[in-house]
């Protein structure tokens, strides 16, 4: 049974790494897959804690650029504005997530039909946005003004509903407010670092009394699988999005949402 559980954790970790940075909702996928696999984590902590693997994947891929930004902070107003912009974008979802943590974990995470409906709705939104002839005004994440960053952060709050997609909400919000596709996806990557790190730390703190040493192998297996898959996903996503847009992710969401809803209606 333990081997089977670890195998399931690896599978869910691979799913997390594959879907975290594309606009299809990694949390929604993991919760649905876990529902049908019968995977039950202590305090629903596994689904949040394995995101640390995805965070480290971003750090490894963007290490040189992050180091350059850090080195320029004392002398560069552009670097300082960029850092402030990321923090401004992070705060709305951080405040809303802390305020609604119990409701999110005990109600929204336990409602797979809602997740399927949000996957379908998000897919329709992506199809619509991908067809709107938007005229981008911002093409460099280092030049995003603070009001734009705050707006993207407010869009990120929508992702507290599982099935919405953190990256999907932030990318769509950025596109509607005037960015091009590549910079929208890239800012979403940078915003993921404090957002996911904060979610990891807060969820670990909230579950400190219920997690035990028996949970560690399961979490570790999911963490390493998520890291490996996320590194591959991040390396190729920006170029793909720049060339092809988001239509494939929209149809992906629609397919998963419809199949998931049909399975829930058939088997519960």
| pLDDT tens per residue, range 149-196 | 999 999 999 999 999 999 999 999 999 999 998 899 899 989 999 998
Helices 51-61 & 2-19 angle (0-180, nearest 10): 40
- How far apart CA 141 and CA 157 sit, in angstroms, is 20
pTM: 0.88
Q: What is the pLDDT of residue 2?
A: 46
Residue 242's pLDDT is 66
Which helix H or strand E contains 14, and what residues bound it?
helix 2-19
Q: What is the mean pLDDT of residues 210-233?
A: 86
Mean pLDDT of 214-220: 85
Cα–Cα distance measured from residue 91 to residue 252, given in angstroms and rounded to the nearest whole number: 30
Question: What's the domain count of the chain?
Answer: 1
- pLDDT band of residue 79 (cuts 50, 70, 90) is very high
Host domain of residue 39: 2-267
């Amino acid at each position: 049974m333990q081997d089977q559980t670890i195998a399931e954790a690896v599978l869910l970790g691979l799913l997390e790494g594959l879907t975290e940075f594309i606009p299809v909702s990694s949390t929604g996928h993991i919760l649905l897959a876990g529902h049908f696999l019968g995977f039950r984590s202590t305090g629903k902590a596994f689904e949040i804690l394995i995101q640390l693997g995805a965070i480290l994947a971003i750090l490894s891929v963007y290490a040189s650029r992050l180091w350059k930004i850090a080195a320029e902070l004392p002398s560069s107003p552009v670097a300082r504005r960029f850092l402030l912009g990321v923090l401004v974008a992070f705060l709305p979802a951080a405040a809303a997530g802390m305020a609604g943590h119990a409701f999110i974990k005990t109600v929204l995470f336990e409602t797979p039909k809602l997740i399927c409906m949000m996957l379908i709705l998000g897919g329709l939104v992506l199809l619509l946005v991908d067809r709107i002839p938007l005229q981008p005004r911002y093409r460099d994440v280092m030049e995003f003004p603070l009001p734009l960053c705050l707006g993207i952060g407010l869009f990120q709050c929508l992702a507290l509903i599982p099935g919405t997609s953190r990256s999907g909400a932030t990318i769509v919000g950025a596109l509607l407010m005037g960015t091009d596709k590549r910079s929208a996806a890239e800012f979403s990557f940078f915003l993921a670092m404090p957002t996911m790190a904060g979610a990891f730390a807060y969820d670990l703190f909230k579950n400190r009394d219920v997690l035990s040493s028996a949970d560690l192998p399961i979490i570790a297996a999911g963490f390493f699988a998520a890291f490996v898959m996320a590194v591959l996903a991040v390396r190729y996503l920006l170029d793909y999005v720049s060339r092809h847009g988001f239509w494939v992710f929209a149809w992906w969401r629609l397919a998963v949402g419809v199949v998931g809803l049909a399975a829930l209606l058939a088997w519960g």
